[in-house]
Amino acid sequence: MEKILIFGHKNPDTDSICSSIVMEKIAKHYGLDAEAVRLGNINKETEYALNHAEVESIREISDVQEGQKVILVDHNEKEQSVDCRENAEIIGVLDHHRIASFETATPLYYISKPYGCTSTLLYEIIKKENIELDKQIATLMLSAIISDTLLLKSPTCTQKDKDAYYELEEFLGINAEEYGLEMLKAGTDLSIYSADEVINLDAKEFEANNKKIVISQVNTADIDDVFVRREELEFAMEKQIADRKLDLFVFLITDIINTNSKVIALGEQKEVVEKAFNVKLDENDSAMLEGVVSRKKQVAPPILEVL
């Protein structure tokens, strides 16, 4: 039987990695030969989660061969997906994002819910289908929910995410808040990364109105820890704009303790950010966005609307 590849978006976050592995388990339950793979490096936060779940490794791929069957988790947009995706046959999507840049030649399973995390919808499937829960996949799903909802504090968090979080916490018999804070903190140590790596850790590309933009986000416990590197970060952003012919590069530094963000915007279309948030960029091309933590719900929609 042909092997099905399962993967999340490029610059994978904890949800993309964990949900791929959980989805592999679900696919195998249905007798499918499936392998979770990844489209990029594992960040420190995800590494923390994988260690706790005792996952040894997950193979990296960069493109797909003609006819490869794939299942997408945590994304659907072409710009965020595997290179040469047109080669692949997409047999399933499990996602919680807007649908854009997506079409297929053949019918497929497409499950999308407006939840805070892909793993929440996978947890629903596992419960409904009576698939056996074990410590590993429970840890992976809880980690993904903590990451995507910033410990249930993000405006993207729904009651379904909360229900799954508390049920998984109980199943695992751990203190999810303590575990989650340690996991999120593990992801905030950016000192080991070059400026170029920092701006690409969690970067997503979008296209609208024939304009190409990137919205990148990092988490921190102290915005100044990241903002002191503004000059080298801006240099790296300018390079991305030139190399990838971007119209706008938005970099969000998100304070996970106080739940707000500082934005740095560069590119021809940077005034789009001023209009979208009704703010003025200061002499450092930056502005505070109070209460803003979610790219999906609070940042991408107003920017794509103004663009």
Q: Which residues bind Mg ion (CB under 5 A)?
A: 13, 15-16, 74, 118, 148
In the complex, the smallest distance separating the C-beta of residue 230 from Mg ion, rounded to whole angstroms, is 22
Complex with Mg ion: residue 181 or 281, whichever CB lies closer: 181
Q: In the complex, what is the shortest distance from the CB of residue 86 to Mg ion, in angstroms, rounded to a whole number?
A: 22
Nearest CA to 76 out of 107, 111, 50 is that of 111
Indicate the residue among 197 and 268 with the shorter CB distance to Mg ion: 197
3-state SS assignment for residue 102: coil
Long-range contacts of residues 271-276, Cβ cutoff 8 Å, at least 24 apart: 272/248, 272/303, 272/306, 272/307, 273/248, 273/303, 275/306, 276/302, 276/303, 276/305, 276/306
Cβ-based nearer residue to Mg ion, 87 or 102: 102
Closest approach of Mg ion to the CB of residue 16, in Å = 5
User: For residues 65 and 115, which CB has a smaller minimum distance to Mg ion in the complex?
Assistant: 115
**Based on CB atoms, which residue is closest to Mg ion, 20 or 240?**
20
Q: Is the dihedral of CA 77, 82, 88, 90 positive or negative?
A: negative
Kind and range of the H or E element at 251? strand 248-255
Shortest Cβ distance from residue 300 to Mg ion (Å)? Answer: 11
Q: Smallest distance, Å, CB 35 to Mg ion? A: 20
